[in-house]
């Protein structure tokens, strides 16, 4: 089972300068609505073919709208021997509700 990270904890870790890869697996249309700064966009349907683009030594935080698709992405990465994978609990919706209230919600 992949660990989750709360939006507020992610915000604190980013503010502290922790080097995290924010992997957004939503569609391009969703990403155009809102996104965390500095995200790497790899749509979920492309993840398997693009997995070698990711740094296996990095801590990767998987992100989607509500955390369901990203949980699948995180589990996939863990199965591919990525040792440091987290899933953003509640996705960008939780981020918008708890961290950045100016972020558009959908």
Which residue numbers are catalytic? 64
The 8-class DSSP code of residue 87 comes to E
The 8-class DSSP code of residue 44 comes to G
Backbone angles phi, psi at 16, to 5 degrees: -80, -5
Joined tokens for residue 88 = 């953003």
Give, in order, the Cα–Cα distances in Å from 89 to each of 30, 52, 53, 70, 100: 18, 25, 24, 9, 15
Yes or no: say if 70 and 82 are a contact pair by the CB < 8 Å rule: no
């Amino acid at each position: 089972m992949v660990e989750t990270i709360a939006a507020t904890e992610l915000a604190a870790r980013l503010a502290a300068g922790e080097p995290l890869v924010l992997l957004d697996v939503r569609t391009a249309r969703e990403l155009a609505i809102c996104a965390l700064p500095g995200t790497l966009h790899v749509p979920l349907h492309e993840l398997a073919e693009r997995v070698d683009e990711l740094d296996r030594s990095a801590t990767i935080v998987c992100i989607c709208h509500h955390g369901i698709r990203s949980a699948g992405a995180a589990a996939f990465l863990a199965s591919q021997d990525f040792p440091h994978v987290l899933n953003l609990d509640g996705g960008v919706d939780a981020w918008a509700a708890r961290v950045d209230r100016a972020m558009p919600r959908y």
